[in-house]
Amino acid sequence: MDRITTSDIREMKKRGEKIVMMTAYDAPTARLVEDGGAEVILVGDTLGMVVLGYDSTLPVTMEDMIHHTKAVMRGSTRALVVGDMPFMSYQTGWQDAMKNAARFMQEAGCGAVKLEGGKRSAEIVGKLTAAGIPVMGHIGLTQQSVNQFGGWKVQGKTPAAAVQLMHDAQALEQAGAFAIVLELVPAPLAELLTQRLSVPTIGIGAGVHCDGQVQVFHDMVGLFDAFVPKHAKRYTDAGASIREALKQYTAEVKSGAFPDAKHSFKMDPAALAELRPPGHQLTRRHALGLDV
């Protein structure tokens, strides 16, 4: 089956059909997310926090991103996979941006890249799209600039900041971005941006009127405990059921209840008898392979 393309995503906005994007960082999660109905899988640099154990996205490298994006490509067949360009893989100039974006396309085989920043990233977005690399923009609370923002704060709340965000969004659209993520933007402003832009907006903490939504997988399913962002909805608590299962496993190993006969392998009693001293009696547990 052919993968969803950036043109399909743009067509969805025209039809008024909501776009579902979720993050994934490995093959089994990519399969789950695709089975769950996502049209777009983002291999986000949130990888650094929810999988690699860093306390921000800043330490994530190109090598990390390529490694995980390859896994997501192997685990999915239909979704458009977007590789997130990590900190300092494009901020250092368009030549670095071109080289690193090309790695996502050539080595990982994904369908598009995402990078953060509005006007200041527009030139790079223009060069990448001119070279045939589809780019998703990302404005609002962009995590790679969290130190500049002074924390995780909603953006665009004052008239001046809202106008700035509008200019940022328009600059990305003009530069050729095929979609724009709006992160932590007041819902009415996100609605206005969605109406004014011809390309789809994908919201995270940006209200219901965006053309699509993105959520971080580990937040949605309860696998990230450090904090739960206000914009994240926990649809299940997989962390709790996994913890319960692991406690049961520990108890069964300690008591000898696991492994039982169903999870053990038998041996031909005649072959086993040859290993035993003459006169040694085989028990049922020996025949099941539970004792040697």
Q: Of 38, 44, 39, which Cα lies nearest the Cα of 25?
A: 44
Q: Considering the complex, what minimum distance in angstroms separates the CB of residue 214 from ligand KIV? A: 5
User: What does the DSSP assignment read for 87-120?
Assistant: TTSSTT-HHHHHHHHHHIIIII--SEEE--BSHH
Closer to ligand KIV by Cβ: residue 57 or 127:
57
Given 34, 39, 116, 183, which residue is catalytic? Answer: 183
Distance of CA 22 to CAs 43, 153, 161, 279, Å? 9, 22, 28, 64
Type of residue found at 97: A
Q: Catalytic: 39? A: no
Half-sphere exposure at residue 224, Cβ-oriented, CA atoms within 13 angstroms: 23
What's the rounded Cα separation, in Å, for the pair 38 and 42?
Answer: 10
Closer to ligand KIV by Cβ: residue 23 or 69:
23
SS3 label, residue 138 = strand
Q: Which residue is nearest to ligand KIV (CB)?
A: 44
What's the rounded Cα separation, in Å, for the pair 181 and 210?
Answer: 9
Closer to ligand KIV by Cβ: residue 44 or 134:
44
Residue 81 bridge partners (DSSP): 41
Q: Considering the complex, what minimum distance in angstroms separates the CB of residue 204 from ligand KIV? A: 5
Is the peptide bond preceding residue 134 cis, with omega within 30 degrees of 0? no
Burial of 215 by CB count in 10 Å (0-12 exposed, 13-18 middle, 19+ buried)?
buried
Closer to ligand KIV by Cβ: residue 51 or 175:
51
Q: Considering the complex, what minimum distance in angstroms separates the CB of residue 290 from ligand KIV? A: 47
SS3 label, residue 72 = helix
- Give me the residues that bind ligand KIV (CB under 6 A), please: 23, 42, 44-46, 84, 181, 183, 204, 214, 216
Q: Considering the complex, what minimum distance in angstroms separates the CB of residue 105 from ligand KIV? A: 18
Q: Considering the complex, what minimum distance in angstroms separates the CB of residue 210 from ligand KIV? A: 12
Q: Considering the complex, what minimum distance in angstroms separates the CB of residue 244 from ligand KIV? A: 28
Closer to ligand KIV by Cβ: residue 105 or 216:
216
What's the rounded Cα separation, in Å, for the pair 7 and 233?
Answer: 29
Closer to ligand KIV by Cβ: residue 12 or 42:
42
What count of other Cβ atoms lies within 10 Å of the Cβ of residue 95? 11
Tokens at 51, concatenated: 């999988």
Residues tagged active-site: 183
